[in-house]
């Protein structure tokens, strides 16, 4: 009865809040599926755990989880207990691993089924072991990144703590590669060496281990040499990588529309700070999307948006909720209400996520996770 009532309330709420958005995020579910299948085909001996933290890298936590919930995947990775709560409240049944730090009081109070916690230091292990509560966990090992993890020489102490805390169930061990997509191959291989040795010790000491995972997407190039049965698939799932050894495609695009069109005369200024001077008589369009909607302010005067398939330069500074673009060469075919692609999912476009990241001197991850969760995700 309660599930039927929930569905009725959701239907009523959806009907009351229906409106046409000024900005939306389109997610191609078939592209996400194809990206996962490409990794599974390339590495048939590995299971893959989708990384859904930070609103599934901007793609929509619940939408992506629902897509893969029936695929029999080992677990979903989230960063926080809050994200795990959202998934369970939305009826997602796949096991969940919280890979970020969780307050011990939240571990003590939690009642979620099939949720495991990452234990990322000997100090946290001591505290959690003293709580005397049933807890499934993955032990994180510091193999050289020196950000989190139990050090290899702390393994005896960790095993002793677990021996005196039978209520704890370590079902997994994990680590993270610091430079898998970089140029220091020797550093990564040393990390893998430390991991393989440590994993061998722990598999003997903890025979109930089910999940052994060391790397994320970029580390897949080293998969044949890593002792593991799971790989955490983050940026590769979303297709915004050109360096992974598997061909994938971006699944996300951010779209808006033209809200006004005007003529700017040669020599006139555009935008905050008057940073752009019109080099000719121009036709410019305003788009109701800005840095509050995920358009990086560093794109001011250099970025691109697409109108009718044509690149249009961002002129003037990106504002909080508006951006102005040069449509002179696309006129007179542009009208108010015409679609504008602010972030393209075509890798070859000048405003693809990877192109934008290069222009801003950052990484695609940052561009994606800065797309607000409040923007509607339209599944296509």
Integer Cα distance of 147 and 140 in angstroms: 11
Structure confidence at residue 181 (pLDDT): 87
Burial of 246 (0-12, 13-18, 19+ CB in 10 A): middle
Structure confidence at residue 9 (pLDDT): 62
Q: What is the pLDDT averaged over residues 337-353?
A: 97
Q: Which of 256, 360, 240 is nearest to 303 (CA)?
A: 360
Q: Per-residue confidence at 6, pLDDT binned at 50, 70, 90?
A: low
What are the structural domains of the chain?
29-238 (3.20.20.10), 252-379 (2.40.37.10)
Q: In this prediction, what percent of the chain has a pLDDT beyond 70?
A: 95
Q: Per-residue confidence at 184, pLDDT binned at 50, 70, 90?
A: confident
- More confident of the two residues 52 and 184: 52
Phi, psi (rounded to 5 degrees) for 130: -75, -10
The CA radius of gyration of the chain, in Å to the nearest whole number, is 24
Residue 114: is its pLDDT beyond 90? yes
- Angle formed by the axes of helices 185-205 and 155-163, to 10°? 30
Active site (catalytic) residues: 53, 272
Degrees (nearest 5) of the Cα angle 172, 177, 181? Answer: 140
Residue 314 is given by DSSP the state: B
| CA-to-CA dists, residue 33 to 39, 192, 239, angstroms | 10, 29, 11
Q: How many residues does the chain have?
A: 380
Helices (H), the chain: 2-16, 29-42, 53-57, 61-68, 81-89, 104-109, 122-129, 155-163, 185-205, 235-238, 353-360, 364-369
Beta carbons of 233 and 36 less than 8 angstroms apart: yes
Residue 1: is its pLDDT beyond 60? no
Q: What is the pLDDT averaged over residues 321-336?
A: 94
Structure confidence at residue 150 (pLDDT): 98
Q: What is the pLDDT averaged over residues 206-226?
A: 96
Residue 100: is its pLDDT beyond 80? yes
Structure confidence at residue 2 (pLDDT): 64
Residues in CB range of 320: below 8 A, 6 or more apart: 290, 291, 292
pTM: 0.92
Q: Per-residue confidence at 12, pLDDT binned at 50, 70, 90?
A: low
Q: Per-residue confidence at 11, pLDDT binned at 50, 70, 90?
A: low
Residue 304 is given by DSSP the state: E
Residue 137: is its pLDDT beyond 70? yes
Per-residue pLDDT of 217-265, as tens digits, reads: 999 999 999 999 999 999 999 999 988 899 999 999 999 999 999 999 9
Tokens at 44, concatenated:
């048939």
- What is the overall mean pLDDT for the chain? 95
Residue 98 is given by DSSP the state: E
Integer Cα distance of 249 and 324 in angstroms: 29
Integer Cα distance of 171 and 116 in angstroms: 8
Structure confidence at residue 20 (pLDDT): 83
Per-residue pLDDT of 266-289, as tens digits, reads: 999 999 999 999 999 999 999 999
Q: Which of 184, 100, 178 is nearest to 146 (CA)?
A: 178
Q: Per-residue confidence at 8, pLDDT binned at 50, 70, 90?
A: low
């Amino acid at each position: 009865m309660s599930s039927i009532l929930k569905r009725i309330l959701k239907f009523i709420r959806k009907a009351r809040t229906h409106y046409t958005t000024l900005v939306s995020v389109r997610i191609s579910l078939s592209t996400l599926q194809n990206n996962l299948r490409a990794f599974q085909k390339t590495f048939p001996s590995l299971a893959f755990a989708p990384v859904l933290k930070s609103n599934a890298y901007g793609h929509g936590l619940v939408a992506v989880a629902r897509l893969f919930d029936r695929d029999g995947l080992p677990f979903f990775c989230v960063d926080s207990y809050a994200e795990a709560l959202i998934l369970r409240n939305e009826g997602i049944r796949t096991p969940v691993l919280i890979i970020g730090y969780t307050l011990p009081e939240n571990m003590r109070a939690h009642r979620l089924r099939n949720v495991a916690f990452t234990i990322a230091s000997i100090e946290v292990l001591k505290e959690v072991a003293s709580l005397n509560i049933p807890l499934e966990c993955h032990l994180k090992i510091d193999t050289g990144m020196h950000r989190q993890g139990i050090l290899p020489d702390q393994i005896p102490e960790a095993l002793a703590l677990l021996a005196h805390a039978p209520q704890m169930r370590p079902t997994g061990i994990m680590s993270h590669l610091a430079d898998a997509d970089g140029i220091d191959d020797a550093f990564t291989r040393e990390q893998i060496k430390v991991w393989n040795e440590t994993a061998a010790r722990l598999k003997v000491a903890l025979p109930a281990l089910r999940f052994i995972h060391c790397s994320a997407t970029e580390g897949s190039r080293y998969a044949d040499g890593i002792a593991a049965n799971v790989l955490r698939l983050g940026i590769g799932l979303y297709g915004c990588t050109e360096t992974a050894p598997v061909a994938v495609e971006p699944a996300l695009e951010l779209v808006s529309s033209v809200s006004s069109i005007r003529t700017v005369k040669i020599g006139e200024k555009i935008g905050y700070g008057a940073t752009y001077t019109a080099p000719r008589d121009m036709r410019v369009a305003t788009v109701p999307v800005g840095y509050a909607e995920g358009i990086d302010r560093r794109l001011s005067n250099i970025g691109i948006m697409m109108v009718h398939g044509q690149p249009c330069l961002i002129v003037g500074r990106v504002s909080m909720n508006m951006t102005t673009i040069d449509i002179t060469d696309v006129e007179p075919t542009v009208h108010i209400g015409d679609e504008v692609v602010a972030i393209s999912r075509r890798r070859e476009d000048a405003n693809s996520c990877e192109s934008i990241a290069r222009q801003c001197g950052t990484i695609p991850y940052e561009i994606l996770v800065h797309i607000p969760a409040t923007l509607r995700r339209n599944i296509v």
